[in-house]
Copies of this chain bind each other. A is one copy, B any other.
């Protein structure tokens, strides 16, 4: 399921992009790092191995990788965008109270997607923005208050 860095590098070459140290490190950080890294977290990971990499290089690489369909970015809340490999794209539920991020089951959006398509002709791509709400723990906590 999760791709290797080499496979992703191959995707870069296929797309006509060059393979640089910074780019390889960004991909490595995405494959091996935490689940929903921001651009800045990726920068930190990259700099652990190549201290001179500039922030704008990371931003430009993420942009290019997104253009090639290798990564996607998602907004989980008001802060920075988070990035992950396109092969791992999924919807997110984010708790407004505690900030917990839940990866939504694949089929959760299906009924809504069907409805939007049938009634409005609108094809949903519900991955770019998280859907907010209140998680089970926080809802229970609110009950007992």
**What residues of chain A have their CB less than 8 Å away from a CB belonging to chain B?**
75, 93, 95-96, 102, 104-105, 108-109, 111-112, 115-116, 119-126, 128-136, 139-140
Contact = CB atoms under 8 A, between A and B. Distances in A.
A29 to B, nearest CB: 23
B112 A108 contact: yes
Nearest to A93: B122
A140 B120 CA distance: 13
Contacts of A133: 116, 122-126
Given A75-B75, A111-B111, A115-B111, A120 B132 contact: no
A16 to B, nearest CB: 22
Given A93-B124, A95-B122, 4 more contacts: A111-B112, A120-B135, A125-B134, A131-B131
Nearest to A123: B134
Contacts of A132: 124-126, 128-129
